[in-house]
Homo-oligomer: A and B are copies of this chain.
Amino acid sequence: MKIAAEQIASVLGGEIVGNPAVEVNTLAKIEEGTEGSISFLANPKYAHHIYTTKASVVIVNKTFEPEHPVSATLIKVDEAYKAFSKLLEYYNQVKLMKSGIEQPSVISEGVEYGEDLYLGSFCYIGKNVKIGNNVKIYPNTFIGDNAQIGDNTVLFAGVRIYSETVIGQNCTLHAGVIVGSDGFGFAPNEDGTFNKVPQIGNVIIEDNVEIGAASTIDRATLGSTIIRKGVKLDNQIQIAHNVEIGENTVIASQTGVAGSTKIGKNCMIGGQVGIVGHITIGDNVRIQAQSGVTKNLENGAAVQGSPALPHSDFLKSYSYFKNFSKIVSDIDSIKKKINE
């Protein structure tokens, strides 16, 4: 898949300086460029690399003027980084253009699916599953009975979708994601044993959601665990039963949300955060990494610590914690002084 600089310039609406016929077949960082690769220069801090890079083509900002000779062909665009991203996306889509139904795979009775399905080998599609158009399902994936998968959604290798799960359009679930496993609900008996509380709700994932590798989302006890549109979850995140996560909220890896908690829109939640069950987190909330949230949070709140405090309060208290020795020695000095 070789492509000429002039073709790329035309896709990006850019202007060529250098040889328009030079061809590339891979992408690289500017400092790691090799012959046949295309790179970009956006940050002036890295401008020195352009004089030594071996990349054949470099995308630069329109305003960039080299101070020394440059061997690479340049493509000048309004915003080099955005243009390169567009290119990456294109490149990626090409790589994702798998289609067809590979054997062996199992499509159970009552399954419906749209156009351009890719179904990898060793995939198992349960009864009455509905799959939209242009869905890509990589090998070794399991989809339980009655699940639904919207258009343009990609399930990477080894995803596990339990029965009754509903997934929207344009979603990406990475390898090892598990959706719809039982919530953790047990009723204690007098002898110390537990009875399982059956978990017969489901999970609903709306459109444009991305879920990172090995994250787990439990089905609701009753009703639905809901991931609203545009939510982005990193790897190894745990979402318990009956949780609801609002639109466009972003959560970093290894965070866990306990049962029945409701999180608002547009929140930014750091990694390794724990959020207790049965609370309500407002919109636009920011939670620092490793925090433990134990109480409702208002819209726009920013918190840190375990248990979490308002962010600035935590920072102040922690700065004193750091100097605790000094504070204690002050107290000792005072004691001595007043006992004189």
Is there a chain B Cβ closer than 8 Å to A118's Cβ? no
Let me know if A197 and B142 touch, CB within 8 A: no
Q: How far is the CB of A303 from chain B (nearest CB, A)?
A: 12
Complex Cα gap A254–B92 (Å): 30
Interface centre among A139, A197, A210 (most CB of B within 10 A): A139
Complex Cα gap A272–B124 (Å): 33
Complex Cα gap A106–B121 (Å): 8
Is there a chain B Cβ closer than 8 Å to A62's Cβ? no
Contacts of A306 in B (CB 8 A): 290, 306
Let me know if B258 and A271 touch, CB within 8 A: yes
With beta carbons under 8 angstroms apart, the residue of B163, B182, B210, B338 that contacts A338 is B338
Complex Cα gap A181–B156 (Å): 9
* A8-46 interface code vs B (CB 8 A; 1 in, 0 out): 000000000000000000011100100000000000000
Is there a chain B Cβ closer than 8 Å to A95's Cβ? yes
Complex Cα gap A175–B182 (Å): 10
* A235-249 interface code vs B (CB 8 A; 1 in, 0 out): 110101000000110
Contacts of A230 in B (CB 8 A): 192-194
Complex Cα gap A28–B222 (Å): 6
Let me know if A200 and B91 touch, CB within 8 A: yes
Let me know if A256 and B271 touch, CB within 8 A: yes
Let me know if B192 and A247 touch, CB within 8 A: yes
Contacts of A77 in B (CB 8 A): none
Tell me how many chains of this kind the complex includes.
3
Provided the pairs A140-B140, A192-B248, A214-B176 are in contact, do residues A320 and B316 lie with their beta carbons within 8 angstroms? no
Chain B interface: which of A68-76, A128-136, A323-331?
Answer: A323-331
Q: What is the size, in residues, of chain A's interface with B at 8 Å between Cβ atoms?
A: 101
Contacts of A122 in B (CB 8 A): 104, 106, 122, 124, 140
Is there a chain B Cβ closer than 8 Å to A47's Cβ? no
Let me know if B198 and A91 touch, CB within 8 A: yes
Let me know if B184 and A252 touch, CB within 8 A: yes
With beta carbons under 8 angstroms apart, the residue of B124, B195, B266, B292 that contacts A140 is B124
Is there a chain B Cβ closer than 8 Å to A168's Cβ? no
Let me know if A160 and B176 touch, CB within 8 A: yes
Provided the pairs A175-B178, A176-B216, A306-B306 are in contact, do residues A335 and B324 lie with their beta carbons within 8 angstroms? no
Question: Other than the known A124-B157, A192-B230, what 13 A-B pairs have Cβ atoms closer than 8 Å?
Answer: A27-B222, A29-B222, A139-B142, A142-B158, A157-B160, A160-B213, A174-B182, A192-B266, A214-B214, A234-B238, A238-B271, A240-B253, A320-B327
